[in-house]
Amino acid sequence: MKKKILIPLAAVALFFSTTAFQNDFFEIAKQIEIFTTAFKELNMNYVDETNPGDLMNTAIKNMLNELDPYTVFMNEQDVEAARINNVGDYTGIGASVKTLKDKLVVVEPYKGYPADNAGLKAGDEIIKVGDVIVADFKENAGDLLRGSAGSEVKITYRRQGATAEATITRQEVEQKAVPLYRMVNETTGYIALSKFTASASYEVSNSLRLLKADGAKELILDLRGNPGGLLREAIAIVNLFVPKNQLVVTTKSKVEKYNKTYYTQKEPIDIEIPVIVLIDGGSASASEIVSGAIQDLDRGIVIGSRSFGKGLVQRPKQLTYGTQMKVTISRYFTPSGRCIQALDYWNRDEKGNAVRVKRENYNEFKTMNGRSVFDGGGVQPDIEIEGSKVSPVTKAIIADDYIFDYVTKYYYSHDKPNLSSFQLSDSDFSDFKAYLSSRNFAFETKTEKELEKVLSTAVDEELDGAIASGYSNLLNQLSAYKNEVVDKNKDQLLSLIENEIIKRYYYREGLHEYYLANNEEIVKGAEILANPSKYRSYLRP
């Protein structure tokens, strides 16, 4: 009888001490019930008419905003957009388009696809699709351009103040993961990888084999601006250069089943060919897995500027009615044990911003050869190119599309440049500065924002009169700095403008060809590869 009583009691006690109970399932159920009743009462009793769908959408997004920018709710259209991004193909007009409040702006028509064949250019503003006025469309207006292959869509667009129409026949659009592979010189091959789609490793593998057949004895792999993509493709690309069963990346999570170690699965193509990987602040996620593994395994040299630092792993969770939620489940770690993630969204500062580890708090790790590497988020290159780091003023100019809009104006007032010798002059830079002035370009520094807060506090404490003179002097010094800072970033800005101009005339393929002869990182990489002893010296501790 005692056993009959004690055994069930022990089982109950065990249940209440298990991880399942500790995971706050009761608390979750409780909060769901509270939210459900509050949501019902709000919609039934609020003085004005409410839209339950909009309210719920806002509630979910605000809840997720408290976590990190990668844990997101996706409606049916978002799910389809994510599929296109991973697969690398879709059915549409064949152009990159940016959705603004009242128009769709053509960012880049893809060479040989319907938008290009119809004569659309970067900078064209689509204001009407079929009978739908873009400004009146409440959903994602970019979806209006998609449709079945062979179907037609009539668009109305503005170009340089004039309005025109075009009828475009949609077709399946395949976006290549490798927009260009070429020989830089007689012995150095170059592969540009733009994203990690489902075909990325195949395209890189095929490009590598063809370059080797053309005489390539060294390789430059360009991951700059590559935002990442599929993890399996990143591992497969590392596998091209390292032996089978080599650790590439580890994921660590609070949920044990998400703790994974990923190893190479196949025999490599070439474990001896010298490799240089190019990265910058736009290289993220899968790009950081590849560059971090190549660096940690001493399989190649990384050149450029510190990568983005996106080391959080997401997994889509199916919800009802065709929706999904991408949930951050773990973090990435390179073979040496470095965490790729740069910002800590779980420990924020007093302003609510995610914090970044200070340089003095970086942790040291060792590569396979014993070289010192450090965490702190992202991948720090072995050779840092100062010009590849985007300055604050350049970021502000890019964010407001001043380079894009300036080049649109330039395109319609200049002849087609020579791809091999094109270079902007000092007078062109003066023209760009005049354009910035005409657009009333101004950017606010963090220092200015902090000074405004100081003055506000001083006013509250009635100290503003005491600090007025010093405050005014600081603002004048900042103003003088901002007048000079565009000139200080002349080389970087000119390079970005040149790149955008080349892309307008020669498409993305031409831009990468232009890089081969003019880009500092590629030139530096080719120079190091041409000197085997210098190359090897970077891989020694």
Q: Note the pLDDT tens digit of each residue in 75-105.
A: 777 776 666 555 555 678 999 999 888 899 9
User: What does the alpha-carbon distance between residue 23 and residue 20 come to, in Å, rounded to a whole number?
Assistant: 5
Report the pLDDT averaged over residues 197-223: 97
Here the tokens at position 104 are 């769709």
Question: Rounded to an integer, what distance in angstroms lies between the CA atom of residue 337 and that of residue 252?
Answer: 11
pLDDT at 11: 46
User: Minimal CA–CA distance to 342: which of 353, 354, 330?
Assistant: 354
196: three-class secondary structure by DSSP = strand
Give me the pLDDT at residue 133, please.
93
* pLDDT of amino acid 118: 95
Whether the per-residue pLDDT at 370 is higher than 60: the answer is yes
Task: Give φ, ψ of 56 to 5 degrees.
Answer: -65, -40
Instruction: Indicate the pairing of strand 247-252 with strand 260-263.
Output: antiparallel
SS3 256: helix
**pLDDT at residue number 479:** 67
| Predicted local distance difference test score (pLDDT) of residue 90 | 61
Q: What is the pLDDT at residue 463? A: 59
Residue 416 CB neighbour total at 10 angstroms:
11
Contact 109, 116 (CB under 8 A): yes
* Confidence band, pLDDT 50/70/90 cuts, at residue 12: very low
Do 191 and 161 form a contact (C-beta atoms < 8 A)? no
Neighbours of 134 (CB within 10 A): 22
Give alpha helix (H) positions in 361-445: 392-399, 402-411, 426-438
First to last CA, the chain: 71
The predicted pLDDT at position 387 comes to 81
Measured CA to CA, the distance from residue 424 to residue 430 in angstroms comes to 11
Determine the average pLDDT of the residues in 461-470: 64
DSSP H helical ranges for 416-488? 426-438, 446-460, 464-488
Q: What is the pLDDT of residues 222-276, one digit of tens each?
A: 999 999 999 999 999 999 999 999 999 999 998 899 999 999 999 999 999 999 9
Q: Is the dihedral of CA 286, 291, 295, 298 positive or negative?
A: positive
Give the closest residue to 493 by CA, choosing from 398, 386, 384: 398
Give backbone dihedrals phi and psi of 120, rounded to 5 degrees, phi first: -70, 145
The CA-atom distances, in angstroms, between 63 and each of 41, 58, 90, 372 are: 20, 8, 32, 40
On the question of pLDDT at 8 being above 50, the answer is no
Which of 152, 123, 153 is CA-nearest to residue 141?
153
Of 23-27, 156-160, 331-335, minimum mean pLDDT range: 23-27
Among 258, 210, 211, 265, which Cα is nearest to 237's?
265
Q: Tell me the per-residue pLDDT of 128-174, one tens digit each, with 9 for 90 and over.
A: 999 999 999 877 788 889 888 899 999 999 999 999 999 999 998 88
Residue 385 has pLDDT above 80, yes or no: yes
Per the CB < 8 A criterion, the answer to whether 242 and 289 are in contact is: no
C-alpha torsion sign, points 182, 241, 526, 305: positive
Give pLDDT tens digits for 177-202.
998 999 999 999 999 999 999 999 99
DSSP 271-302: SSS-EEEEE-TT--THHHHHHHHHHHTTSSEE
Torsion of CA 194, 115, 86, 190, to 10 degrees: -20
Residue 159 and residue 194: Cα distance in Å, rounded? 29
Q: What is the pLDDT of residue 448?
A: 62
pLDDT digits (tens, 9 = 90+) for 472-519: 777 667 766 666 888 899 999 999 999 999 999 999 889 988 988 889
CB atoms < 10 A from the CB of 196, how many?
29
Which amino acid, residue 455?
A: L
Task: Write down the H helix ranges in 88-245.
Answer: 114-117, 200-213, 231-239
Residues 88, 274: Cα–Cα separation, whole Å: 29
Q: Is 124 exposed, middle or buried (0-12, 13-18, 19+ CB in 10 A)?
A: buried
Closest alpha carbon to 492 in 359, 378, 396: 396
Asked if residue 212 has pLDDT above 90, the reply is yes
- Partners of 153 in beta bridges: 168
Distance between CA 75 and CA 56 in Å, rounded?
12
Residues 6+ apart with CB under 8 A from 42: 50, 55
Q: What pLDDT was estimated at residue 316?
A: 86
Q: State the pLDDT confidence band at 278, using cuts at 50, 70 and 90.
A: very high
Q: Which of 327, 322, 315 is nearest to 76 (CA)?
A: 322
C-alpha 81 chain-centroid distance: 16
What's residue 6's pLDDT? 46
Q: How much helix, strand and coil, in percent to the nearest 5, is found in the chain? A: 45, 20, 35
110-119, 254-263, 321-330, 449-458: which range is least confident on average?
449-458
Tens of pLDDT, residue by residue over 417-440, are 999 889 999 999 999 999 998 998
Decide if pLDDT at 22 tops 90: no
Residue 14 pLDDT more than 70?
A: no
pTM (predicted TM-score): 0.82
* Nearest alpha-carbon partner for 510 in 192, 47, 40: 192
**CA dist list (Å): 230 to 201, 492, 508:** 10, 31, 22
